[in-house]
Amino acid sequence: MAPGGLPVIAVRLAGSGGQGIQLAGVVLAEAAIAAGWNAACMQTYGPESRGGASRCDVVLDRGEIYFPQARHPDVLVALSADACRCFLPDVRPGGLVLCDAVAMVETPPSHLHCRALPMVETARTVGTPLVANVVALGALCALTELVPLDVLARALAARRPEPRNQQALQAGFSLGEAARLDDGSPVGEERG
């Protein structure tokens, strides 16, 4: 059962080209499939290879998926200020916004659960800001419990076997655990 009993979960990952948004979406979708979900992944990006807008919608359902786009995502993961500003209004009331600490440029609406975490900075401590996308996946996993961490780790290793990716995933998971609700429950459990 999805957090809060929702039959469909829509996740939008967004950032700038070169931040690994597309890879993060594919890894999340593959991990979700391994965890028993049906998943659809829809990728959108600008013509630039670096620096342009990049977005990946991942729709998860226990049944059939009829539309692969997240019109009003339950979760927004934003690694850039532009992505946060652009997609914040689309998040459904009660949804989760997970953004890099420097990307949250305005006070978020009170009807959203927002977590601004130092994902890029954490990636730097692992050795490179290029793994901020993986840090974000780890934090998302801890905050939502959509897929078990070990399943996500296997999906990541199948695509990117370098040890620093597993380090980044664990570092992100630790960030997410520290940002859970005061009672330790995952964000979204109070819906329903």
pLDDT values of the chain reduced to their tens digit, one per residue, 192 residues: 444 455 789 999 999 988 999 999 999 999 999 999 999 999 987 665 566 789 999 999 999 999 989 999 999 999 999 999 999 999 999 999 999 999 876 777 889 999 999 999 999 999 999 999 999 999 999 999 999 999 999 999 999 999 999 999 999 999 999 998 655 555 554 433
Within a domain: residue 189? no
Query: CB of 56 within 8 A of CB of 9?
Result: no
How many CA atoms within 13 Å lie on the side-chain side of 14?
Answer: 25
Domain total of the chain: 1
CB atoms within 10 A of CB 145: 18
Model confidence, pTM: 0.89
Range of the domain at 86: 3-178
26: closest CA among 13, 9, 37? 13
Within a domain: residue 187? no
Q: Is 160 left (phi over 0), alpha (psi -120 to 50) or beta?
A: beta
CATH at residue 164: 3.40.920.10
Within a domain: residue 89? yes
Within a domain: residue 122? yes
